[in-house]
Amino acid sequence: MKAFQVQSYSAAPEIMDVVVPDPAAGEIRVRIHACGLNFADLLMVKGTYQDTPELPFVLGMEVSGTVDALGEGVTSVSVGDRVAVFGGQGGLAEFGCFDARRAVQVPDGMSMVDAAAFQIAYGTSHLALDHRARLQPGETLLVLGAAGGVGLTAVEIGKLMGARVVACARGAAKLAAAKAAGADHLIDAETQDIRAEMKALGGADVVYDPVGGDQFEAAFRSCKPEARVLPIGFASGQVPQIKANHLLVKNISVQGVYWGGYLRFRPDVVTKSLATLMGWYSAGKLTPHVSHTFALDAVADGLELLRSRASTGKVVIRITDDG
C-alpha cells in the first residue's frame, strides 16, 4: 500500500510502498477513505510534538474509513462499519490499524470527508469550553485564530452554548468565515488592537487561544476578573510566559487543554463529549468547514496551507475516490 512516511526529521516525508499491516489483538484495520490534517502534523515532521512517534512512522492523526479486519477480541465494531478514528499517527495511508476503543461510528448522512475533519477540532473545542472552562450562557468568549481548524469550531460551539462570541482572525476572508460560523463581533488581528477592541466590548470571560505569542498577551490583558484562559496551541511559534502576579491580581485562571491527553487519563470525558457532538451533528447544529481537499500524492500541498496559515477550517486528504 501507499503511505506518507516520515523517515528522518532532517528530510521531507515521502510516499512509500509499505506492507499492509495486520491488526493486533484489540485493534481494527481500516480501509482509509480520508485523513484530516492538523497543525500537530507539522510539529511531528520536525520531531517537536509532545507525542511524536518513533521513526519511521506514517503521518496523519485522524481518519475516516471502513472497517476491513478485526483483531482478536474486538466485538465493538464489525467489518464494513463506517468509523472515524483518532489514532495519533498512521492516517495518511491506504490502510491503518488502530485501537478499536478509539473507533466512533460515523452517523448516517455524514460524509467521510466531514468525519475525517471532525474529532480533533470539535473535540478540542467542546472539551475546552464545556469541561474545562464551564462556559456559561451570556458570557463573552474571545476566540483567537478564529478561522483555523479548531478556531472555527470554537466559534460554532461557543455560540451553541449561548455565549457572546468575539472572533479574532487575520483579514476579511477569514473573518467572513468566522462570521458565517456564528461570531457576534469580529476583530482583524492585522489592523486592530485586540486589547482595545475587547475593552470596548466589556472584556473577556473566556479566551480560547490556539495562537500564542503577542495575541495571547493582548487577550490576557483584556480579561475580566475571574476569566478563564485556555491555551490550545502555539501556531505563532511563540509560547507565552505568564506572570503569576497578574493571575493573582485579577483572579484569572489559565487552563491548559490537550485533547489527546484525555484519551489516556480520562477517556470517559472524550467519549461523552464525542457523543454530544455527534448528536449535534445529526441534529443539524454543526457544519464542519473544510476549505481544501487533496489527493494522497499532494499531501505536501495540504501541509503547506497549514504552515502558511492560508486555509480556513480543515484541510482533508482524500485517500480513495469514494472518500
pLDDT at 86: 95
The CATH number of 124-257, from 3.40.50.720, 2.140.10.30, 3.40.50.880, 3.40.50.800, is 3.40.50.720
Three cell numbers at 115? 468525519
Rounded Cα–Cα distance for residues 38 and 281 (Å): 21
pLDDT at 322: 63
Distance between terminal CA atoms of the chain?
A: 17
Q: What angle do CA 128, 246, 144 make, to 5 degrees?
A: 35
Q: Are 173 and 199 in contact (CB under 8 A)?
A: no
Q: Which among 14, 18, 22, 13 has a CA at the least distance from the CA of 1?
A: 18
If DSSP states are collapsed to H, E and C, what string results for the chain?
A: CEEEEECCCCCCCEEEECCCCCCCCCEEEEEEEEEECCHHHHHHHHCCCCCCCCCCEECCCEEEEEEEEECCCCCCCCCCCEEEEECCCCCCECEEEEEHHHEEECCCCCCHHHHHCCHHHHHHHHHHHHHHCCCCCCCEEEECCCCCHHHHHHHHHHHHCCCEEEEEECCHHHHHHHHHCCCCEEEECCCCCHHHHHHHCCCEEEEEECCCHHHHHHHHCCEEEEEEEEECCCCCCCCCCCCHHHHHHHCCEECCCCHHHHHHHCHHHHHHHHHHHHHHHHCCCCCCCEEEEEEHHHHHHHHHHHHCCCCCEEEEEECCCCC
Three cell numbers at 110? 455524514
Domain ranges of the chain: 2-118+288-318, 124-257
Rounded Cα–Cα distance for residues 210 and 76 (Å): 34
Per-residue pLDDT of the chain (323 residues; tens, 9 = 90+): 999 999 999 999 999 999 999 999 999 999 999 999 999 999 999 999 988 999 999 999 999 999 999 999 999 999 999 999 999 999 999 999 999 999 999 998 999 999 999 999 999 999 999 999 999 999 999 999 999 999 999 999 999 999 999 999 999 999 999 999 999 999 999 999 999 999 999 999 999 999 999 999 999 999 999 999 999 999 888 999 999 998 999 999 999 999 999 999 999 999 999 999 999 999 999 999 999 999 999 999 999 999 998 898 999 999 987 64
pTM here?
Answer: 0.91
pLDDT at 320: 87
Phi-psi region of 237 (alpha: psi -120 to 50; beta: other; left: phi over 0): left
Q: What angle do CA 296, 117, 9 make, to 5 degrees?
A: 50
What is the third-level CATH fold of 2-118+288-318? Quinone Oxidoreductase; Chain A, domain 1 (3.90.180)
Rounded Cα–Cα distance for residues 59 and 52 (Å): 10
Rounded Cα–Cα distance for residues 86 and 105 (Å): 12
